[in-house]
């Protein structure tokens, strides 16, 4: 039985408020927007949720590039639905950040000015249609590993947003895998395209879980606050264990000569990740960083008139 949470204190006494917050976290209950919370908790959540929202929105670009070149109407309809879902995920997440007092336009400005980050994975280009399938399989698969535990995150609006997001990510992963299965049943050239896409996306997908635990300065506090439930390395291992049998079924080779099954632990051991590449990409110098941000900036600036018109319309009706 979790310890009962003390009643909301009728006080502005910081120590009593902190005690109630700590008891809520210890009892595994949710913190809601109207509850008192430490400033560090609020700031950490805004940073994490904003980074997550930006990743959903920027993540529309690499796949969006293929909307006009999808090989059939069926593939186009599937890809369009998926890219739209990612826009929806971004919107849920910006709304969750707003419950913490953040301003959506301000978060977008911070993204464009390079003051907030997004997932490193979206700074790689999509070279063939097989990349669409591999993104669904790897990138959405990694997102599922990351996000399923966030459904139990201590902050209520974030946890609830994740429940729907995860259902949609599951569809995304399956459509990617089904696309790859179809290509693997095709010509030798199609199979080679799939293998080439796997070779290019595997290592970057392992980097999606963030730096190793001994180089992840904010992780311990985030876990103590119940924002994060598992460490970066735990989630990365879970992802590798899930992906290796799927690669076997598909008939592709993961580009890691050190990948071996360890019967003692029941896990797949994998080779060293190139953290220099990760740091280069996350700090803005990956293959497509400049293009991603330039497009996001153009979308903000070119569509500013829509926001202005909608704001003026709302103000007119309010008066
Ligand atoms: Fe998403
Ligand atoms: Fe997705």
- Specify the residue for token string 């879902």: 85
CA of 89 to the centre of ligand 1 (A): 5
Rounded distance, CA 286 to CA 45, Å?
Answer: 26
Among the bound ligands, name the one nearest to the CA of residue 162: 1
- In b/e form, how buried is each residue of 181-194, taking b as 16+ CB within 10 angstroms? bebbeeeeebbebb
Percent of the residues in the chain that have a pLDDT greater than 90, as a whole number = 93
State the pLDDT confidence band at 7, using cuts at 50, 70 and 90. low
Ligand 1 center–CA 72 separation, angstroms:
23
Task: Give distance in angstroms: CA of 48 to centre of ligand 2.
Answer: 17
pTM for the structure as a whole: 0.93
Q: What is the pLDDT of residues 214-268, one digit of tens each?
A: 988 888 899 999 999 999 999 999 999 999 999 999 999 999 999 999 999 999 9
- The alpha carbon of 212 and the centre of ligand 2 are apart by a number of angstroms equal to 24
Nearest to 210 by CA among 190, 231, 185: 231
3 pLDDT higher than 70:
no
Ligand 2 geometric centre to CA of 144 (Å):
8
85 CA distance to ligand 1 centroid (A)? Answer: 7
Looking at the predicted structure, is the pLDDT value of residue 276 above 70? yes
Q: Which of 267, 278, 252 is nearest to 199 (CA)?
A: 252
Distance 58 CA to ligand 1 centre (A): 10
Tokens of 282: 């996350």
In this prediction, residue 292 has a pLDDT band, given cuts at 50, 70 and 90, of very high
Distance 170 CA to ligand 2 centre (A): 8
Percent of the chain with pLDDT over 70: 97
Q: What is the pLDDT of residues 56-114, one digit of tens each?
A: 999 999 999 999 999 999 999 999 999 999 999 999 999 999 999 999 999 999 999 99
Q: How far is the CA of 136 from the centre of ligand 1 (A)?
A: 10
> Ligand nearest 139 Cα, by number?
2
pLDDT at 286: 95
Tell me which ligand sits closest to the C-alpha of residue 164. Answer: 1
CA of 257 to the centre of ligand 1 (A): 31
DSSP H stretches of helix in the chain: 14-26, 39-58, 60-64, 73-98, 104-112, 129-134, 140-147, 156-184, 188-207, 219-224, 232-250, 275-280, 289-302, 304-318
pLDDT at 203 > cutoff 70: yes
Confidence at residue 313, expressed as pLDDT on a 0 to 100 scale: 97
- Residue 319: pLDDT band (50, 70, 90) is confident
Which ligand has the shortest distance to the CA of 87?
A: 1
34 Cα: distance to centroid of ligand 2 (angstroms): 30
For all residues of the chain together, what is the average pLDDT? 95
> How confident is the model over 104-163, as pLDDT tens digits?
999 999 999 999 999 999 999 999 999 999 999 999 999 999 999 999 999 999 999 999
The pLDDT tens digits of the residues spanning 296-314 come to 999 999 999 998 999 999 9
CA 195 to ligand 1 centroid distance, Å? 24
The whole-number average pLDDT for the span 5-27 is 83
| DSSP secondary structure code for residue 267 in this structure | E
Confidence of residue 2 (pLDDT cuts 50, 70, 90): low
- Given pLDDT bands bounded at 50, 70 and 90, which one contains residue 10? low
Q: Name residues whose C-beta falls within 8 Å of residue 96's C-beta, 6 or more positions apart in sequence.
A: 49, 155, 157, 158, 161
* Helix axis angle, 304-318 to 289-302, nearest 10°: 40
**264 CA from centroid of ligand 1 (Å):** 35
Q: Which candidate, 10, 102, 94, places its Cα nearest to that of 52?
A: 94
CA of 186 to the centre of ligand 2 (A): 26
């Amino acid at each position: 039985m979790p310890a009962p949470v003390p009643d909301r204190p009728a006080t502005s006494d910081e120590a009593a408020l902190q005690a109630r917050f700590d008891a809520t976290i210890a009892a595994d209950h949710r913190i809601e927007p109207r509850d008192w919370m430490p400033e560090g908790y609020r700031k950490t959540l805004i940073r994490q949720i904003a980074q997550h929202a930006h990743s959903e929105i920027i993540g529309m670009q690499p796949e969006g590039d293929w909307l006009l070149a999808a090989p059939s109407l069926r593939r186009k309809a599937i890809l369009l639905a998926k890219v739209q879902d990612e826009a929806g995920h971004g919107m849920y997440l910006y709304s969750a950040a707003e419950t913490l007092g953040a301003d959506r336009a301000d978060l977008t400005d911070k993204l464009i000015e390079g003051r907030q980050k997004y997932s490193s994975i979206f700074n790689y280009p999509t070279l063939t249609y097989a990349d669409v399938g591999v993104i669904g399989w790897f990138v959405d698969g990694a997102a599922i590993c990351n996000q399923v535990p966030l459904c139990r995150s201590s902050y209520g609006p974030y946890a609830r947003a994740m429940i729907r997001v995860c259902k949609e990510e599951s569809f995304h992963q399956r459509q990617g895998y089904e696309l790859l299965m179809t290509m693997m049943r095709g010509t030798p050239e199609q199979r080679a395209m799939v293998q080439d896409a796997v070779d290019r996306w595997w290592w970057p997908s392992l980097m999606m879980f963030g730096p190793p635990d001994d180089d992840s300065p904010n992780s311990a506090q985030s876990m103590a606050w119940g924002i994060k439930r598992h460490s970066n390395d735990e989630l990365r291992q879970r992802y590798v264990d899930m992906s290796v049998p799927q690669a076997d079924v598909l008939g592709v080779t993961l580009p890691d000569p050190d990948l071996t099954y360890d019967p003692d632990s029941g896990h797949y051991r994998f080779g060293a990740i190139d953290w220099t590449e990760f740091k280069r990409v996350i700090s803005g110098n990956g293959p497509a960083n400049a293009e991603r941000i330039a497009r996001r900036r153009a979308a903000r600036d070119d569509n500013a008139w829509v926001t202005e018109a909608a704001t003026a319309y709302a103000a007119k009706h309010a008066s």
